[in-house]
Amino acid sequence: MKSIPTHQLQDRTDKGFIIFPFTHEQIDNQKSELMGAHRDDHYIFFIMLKGSASTLVDFEEKTIHANQLYYILPEQIHYRIRSTDGNGWYIAVDPSLIETSCRNAFERWLGFPEPVDLIPNDIEDYNDLLTILHRRTMDPSPDSQNLNILYALLHSFFEMAAATVQTSKDSDGNISRAAELSFRFKKLLNKHIKRYKSPSDYAGMLHISEPYLNESLNKYTGSSVSFWIKYKIVMEAKQLLYFSNLNVKQIANDLGFENHSYFSRFFAKETGMTALEFRKSFRNSNPVLS
Q: In 3D, which of 37, 109, 98 has the Cα closest to residue 70?
A: 109
Q: Are strands 87-93 and 17-23 parallel, antiparallel or unpaired?
A: antiparallel
* pLDDT given at position 290: 39
Contacts of 167 (CB under 8 A, 6+ apart): none
Residue-level pLDDT, tens digit, the chain, 290 residues: 556 788 889 888 888 999 999 886 665 544 554 457 788 899 999 999 999 988 888 888 889 999 999 999 887 888 777 777 889 999 999 998 999 889 888 887 655 678 999 999 999 999 999 999 999 998 877 676 778 899 999 999 999 999 998 753 454 444 568 878 888 998 899 899 999 999 999 999 999 999 999 999 988 887 899 999 999 999 899 989 988 889 999 999 999 999 999 999 999 999 999 999 999 887 765 544 43
Helices (H), the chain: 29-35, 100-106, 120-137, 144-165, 175-192, 199-206, 210-221, 225-243, 248-254, 260-271, 275-285
- Burial class (CB within 10 angstroms; exposed 0-12, middle 13-18, buried 19+) of 47: buried
Task: Just give the CATH number of 6-166.
Answer: 2.60.120.280
Q: In 3D, which of 277, 289, 192, 285 has the Cα closest to residue 236?
A: 192
Residue ranges of the chain that CATH labels 2.60.120.280 = 6-166
Residue ranges of the chain that CATH labels 1.10.10.60 = 175-289
Q: In 3D, which of 72, 54, 73, 56 has the Cα closest to residue 64?
A: 54
Task: Just give the CATH number of 175-289.
Answer: 1.10.10.60
* pLDDT given at position 173: 44
